[in-house]
Amino acid sequence: MQAVTLSQKGLKSEKNEDACLVLNNKCLFVVADGVGGGPRGDFASRTLVDEIYRLCGLADRNNSIEKVLIQAIQNANKLIFDAAQAADLNGMATTLVCAVIKDKRIVVMHVGDSRAYRLRCGEIMALTKDHTKSVQRPDNQFKSVITNAVGIRSSIKIELNRFDWDAKDQLLLLSDGITDVLDDSVILSILNNAAASMADRIKRLVLESERQGGRDDKTVVLVYER
């Protein structure tokens, strides 16, 4: 498997609160996004990614990577939740989307609104559904609020789904810094540009999201077979 990644700080925060991880030898790919507005979002996303790396990176071949991944997410949830009991860190959390590709299957796990897509034969298919709800603001406008995140509760509900995988497919993981401003058709048109390298395609995603006014941190992982 091959993967190209790009993570770029936006204008909303002092630090990039996104984090990502690629473990090619495990065919494991991760994007985490510290919950916007919460304190120390960068700590939350990095804690999650570090725990996944610690457990999954050293996992024995005889162990199921899926089970180890779930354990890593649960461990990180406890670490973040416990740390967030401090007054200055209350509300700290992170979203997560991760995928394992094995035996012509993709196992996708997600918590929150970071997304996974599969690109196949010039079409795009969402592999996740945002854990959000729409809330009316005092000015009668509506905003999307996350209903599930790693570290927000003492126990965590991880959504897990399985999909088929073909050698010509591409897997795309994104934080909401991109999906909040670019719809699926725009994402697809950029990634279908065969004249551009894979690295240039994800750079274009970030640039276009900025051009459209996106102020949040932006992270992309694009996976494809050699």
The answer to whether residues 73 and 111 touch, using CB atoms and an 8 Å cutoff, is: yes
Q: Which residues contact 74 (CB under 8 A, 6 or more apart)?
A: 156
Distance CA 79, CA 159 (A): 20
Q: How far is CA 124 from the centre of its chain?
A: 17
Region of 40 on the Ramachandran plot (φ > 0 left; ψ -120 to 50 alpha; else beta): left
Q: What is the pLDDT along the chain (226 residues), one digit of tens a residue?
A: 899 999 999 888 888 999 999 999 999 999 999 985 666 899 999 999 999 999 998 777 656 899 999 999 999 999 999 999 988 888 899 999 999 999 899 999 999 999 999 999 999 999 999 999 988 777 777 778 899 999 999 999 999 999 999 999 999 999 999 999 999 999 999 999 999 999 999 999 999 999 999 989 999 999 999 7
Strands 105-111 and 159-164: antiparallel
Residue 179 buriedness (CB in 10 A; 0-12 / 13-18 / 19+): buried
* CA torsion angle 2 55 68 7 (round to 10): -40
The answer, as to whether pTM is greater than 0.75, is yes
| Residue spans per domain, the chain | 2-224
Strands 18-23 and 28-34: antiparallel
DSSP secondary structure code for residue 226 in this structure = -
Region of 168 on the Ramachandran plot (φ > 0 left; ψ -120 to 50 alpha; else beta): alpha
Residue 174 φ then ψ, to 5°:
-140, 145
Tell which CATH classification among 3.60.40.10, 2.40.30.10, 3.40.630.30, 3.40.440.10 matches the domain 2-224: 3.60.40.10
- Return the axis-axis angle of helices 184-191 and 198-211, rounded to nearest 10°: 150
